[in-house]
Amino acid sequence: MHHHNHYYGQAHILARYCGLNDLHPPRMRGYLQHGWNVACGWNPVHEFFDGAWRYTWSDPPRRRGHSLGRRNYHVIGAPFLYLADMEPDLGKVPEEERSGTLWFLFHGWEGGGKGGKIEGDHARLISEIKETETEQVTISLYYTEFERPEVRRAYEKAGFEVICFGKRGWNYEGTDRRFLYKQLETFRRFKRVAANRLSTAIFFGTAVGCQPAVYGDPMELEGDNPLFGGQARIKRLWPEMHGKDVDLAAARATTDVELGRSYVMPPAELRMLFDWNVRD
């Protein structure tokens, strides 16, 4: 099993859904998409073992992969959708009690010397958030920014509550298997979800009832690979997801496509696909 499959505890969620041990999920003989992706499901330089299956959340990455000559795709739906179905009441409050905006800063990654650090005008972004949001704002930082005091304190000094959902894990170490549980629970009490780049969090929040928004300085990512096409391509292909007040019906329709809602499988089918059935 590639260690990316454990990111955010996704393999753990799918194991639980299949009625198996979610503390130590069984091996998945393939590669599981771990975040919303504008390419074929993975980064441009990801290495694959020959013949391994590629499990994507939705059909667009499969189609893009096929256009590149890649095969062995299977679309299964985002693990977050399986979790939401298993936890229908986690964090849920009456619709009229949802309030505020959960705002996700575009984040870096565990790149070490290879890059992965974001740079941008935080002061200008803070000013735009304050001008735009009419209710209280909670800023979510990934740990790579939460542990940078100059970034975290900028938002704290601006008067925002600043939170961190934890670590996705790396090489099977430090994986917070409750990561997506905590996100789901938090999303369900907010009215809006926003970010400075279209990202996984925007789709997750929209999927569980938040009004999405994408605006502000998108920041620069050190070592960002240009093969994805950059922000211009993303805004061109998903214009309905950008802006401070987007059309909710259109955003939900796009979210269902990008998270693969129609591809979510029953437990028996998923166990068969992953070869997780017990053999006599």
According to DSSP, the β-strands at 118-119 and 101-104 are unpaired
In-domain check, residue 254 = no
Res 42: pLDDT: 87
Q: Is the confidence at residue 56, as pLDDT, over 90? A: yes
Res 170: pLDDT: 77
**Predicted model pTM:** 0.94
Q: Please state the domain count of the chain.
A: 2
In-domain check, residue 125 = yes
Most confident of 35-49, 116-130, 175-189: 175-189
Average pLDDT, the chain: 92
Res 171: pLDDT: 76
Residue 109 near residue 144, CB atoms below 8 Å: yes
User: Which alpha helices (H) appear in 112-178, and where do they start and end?
Assistant: 122-132, 143-146, 149-157
In-domain check, residue 189 = yes
Q: Could you tell me if 233 and 143 lie in one domain?
A: yes
Q: Identify the burial level of 182 via C-beta atoms within 10 angstroms of its C-beta, where 0-12 means exposed, 13-18 middle and 19 or more buried.
A: middle
| CATH number reported for the structural domain that contains residue 221 in this entry | 3.40.50
Res 38: pLDDT: 94
Q: Could you tell me if 20 and 109 lie in one domain?
A: no
Residue 78: which pLDDT band, with cuts at 50, 70 and 90? Answer: very high
Q: Is the confidence at residue 112, as pLDDT, over 50? A: no
Q: How far apart are the first and last CA of the chain?
A: 23
pLDDT, greater one: 30 or 3: 30
Torsion angles phi and psi, residue 25, rounded to 5: -65, 150
Q: How far apart are CA 26 and CA 11, in angstroms?
A: 8
Residue 113: which pLDDT band, with cuts at 50, 70 and 90? Answer: very low
Q: Could you tell me if 128 and 203 lie in one domain?
A: yes
Q: Is the confidence at residue 273, as pLDDT, over 80? A: yes
In-domain check, residue 255 = no
The lowest-confidence range among 20-24, 105-109, 143-147, 187-191 is: 105-109
In-domain check, residue 279 = no
The arithmetic mean of pLDDT across residues 77-99, rounded, is 98
Q: Could you tell me if 34 and 166 lie in one domain?
A: no
What's the pLDDT tens digit per position in 148-205?
999 999 999 999 999 999 998 877 788 899 999 999 999 999 999 999 999 999 999 9
Residue 192 near residue 100, CB atoms below 8 Å: yes
In-domain check, residue 124 = yes
DSSP 194: E
In-domain check, residue 241 = yes
Res 2: pLDDT: 77
Domain with 48, as residue range(s), is: 3-87+260-274
Q: Is the confidence at residue 115, as pLDDT, over 60? A: no
Helix, strand, coil share (%) of the chain residues, nearest 5: 40, 15, 45
